[in-house]
Copies of this chain bind each other. A is one copy, B any other.
């Protein structure tokens, strides 16, 4: 294979990943569209915050499982930073804490989020599915699944603007999580994309990486399905 063919194949692969991350991303989900258009009721928004917290609190778990697959101190140092970002370097810091504050700003007691008692079955299954994917699949697939973060900075910008405009009853301090992910998502996805492009040299590996990313898009989509469906459907 000539260098230019190899380069164009690599570019085509990156384009495919970026296309999947864009076209199958959950920003197009009807529930998210309604959120960003300011159409959610306070109860709907709280249901989303509470259920999405179940996903948030499992991010360090899946990242520890990815970490265990990475070879050598250099790669692990890079991935370890993600766990630190979510758990914080000290008490009262980190992404999980910021999400709890978002909940409080929306009138949800942190004990209610931490108990997990109200998490919807579909949300639990989606999160379990993602954690187990990272536990059981190859390093390439586990890292490729994280590439939904290619679309994270965009959705965060839109979301912050939407909250500031439509949901003023939520204190602006509560939006710190979204703000931090705008920057962090860019670094995370840049590093992960570098690894995936470096590792997936065969066509079979590239297919596996694209499928992993599509799977992860389905996880996030399915999570919103469950939250959207639950409207007015309290279990007897």
Binding site for B on A (CB under 8 A): 60-62, 64-65, 67-68, 73-74, 76-77, 80, 83-84, 86-91, 94, 96-97, 135
Chain A at the B interface: SS class:
helix
Known contacts A64-B64, A68-B64; decide if A80 and B87 are in contact (CB<8 Å): yes
Complexed CA–CA distance, A73 and B98 (Å): 12
User: Inside 8 A of A64's CB, which chain B residues have their CB?
Assistant: 64-65, 67-68, 76
Choose among B60, B65, B73, B76 the residue that contacts A73 (Cβ–Cβ < 8 A).
B60
Do the beta carbons of A60 and B76 come within 8 Å of each other? yes
Complexed CA–CA distance, A65 and B76 (Å): 13
Look across to chain B and name the residue whose beta carbon is closest to the beta carbon of A58: B68
Q: Which residue among A60, A68, A83, A135 has the maximum number of chain B CB atoms within 10 Å of its CB?
A: A68
User: Inside 8 A of A77's CB, which chain B residues have their CB?
Assistant: 87-90
User: Inside 8 A of A68's CB, which chain B residues have their CB?
Assistant: 61-62, 64-65, 68, 135
Complexed CA–CA distance, A62 and B69 (Å): 10
Choose among B61, B62, B76, B89 the residue that contacts A87 (Cβ–Cβ < 8 A).
B76
Do the beta carbons of B73 and A87 come within 8 Å of each other? yes
Complexed CA–CA distance, A9 and B64 (Å): 34
- CB-CB nearest 3 A-B residue pairs: A64-B68, A73-B87, A64-B67
Known: A64-B65, A67-B83, A77-B90. 10 other contacts (CB 8 A): A60-B76, A61-B68, A65-B65, A65-B68, A73-B91, A73-B94, A76-B83, A77-B87, A77-B89, A80-B83
Do the beta carbons of A84 and B88 come within 8 Å of each other? no
Known contacts A80-B83, A83-B67, A83-B80; decide if A74 and B61 are in contact (CB<8 Å): no
